[in-house]
Amino acid sequence: MVELKPGARFQSTVCSTEVIVVKGVGEVDLTCGGAPMVASGTGEISGSPSDDAAGGTQLGKRYGNADETIELLATKAGDGSLAADGGALEIAQAKTLPASD
């Protein structure tokens, strides 16, 4: 479990993925590649992502959960897929801006 707060940075322990929290608060079971993520700079890569969590993370993309309470920005790409509390985090869709008249 990690404590989410905007600006917090986390890294995967099974691939090169690194993220920064854009939105989210509280304790969350944050994983990448099926393994728990740790605060940036506190862990090293060992092993590889599990087969069911090896969809990859894309640099510069925002990832979020279905109810939009968590949003992470990938600052380093990797082979593992992101998940929070057992639910996969998907690439967030861009929001359309209102038309100006």
pLDDT in tens, 15-44: 999 999 999 999 999 999 999 999 998 888
Please state the φ and ψ torsions of residue 65, each to the nearest 5 degrees: -90, 175
Contact 60, 22 (CB under 8 A): no
- CA–CA distance, 78 with 80 (Å, rounded to integer): 6
97 contact partners, CB below 8 Å, separation of at least 6: none
DSSP classification of residue 99? P
| Rounded distance between C-alpha atoms, residue 56 and residue 101, angstroms | 41
Helix (H) or strand (E) holding 44: none
Q: Enter the pTM of the model.
A: 0.89
Predicted confidence (pLDDT) per residue in 54-82, tens digit: 999 999 999 999 999 999 999 999 999 99
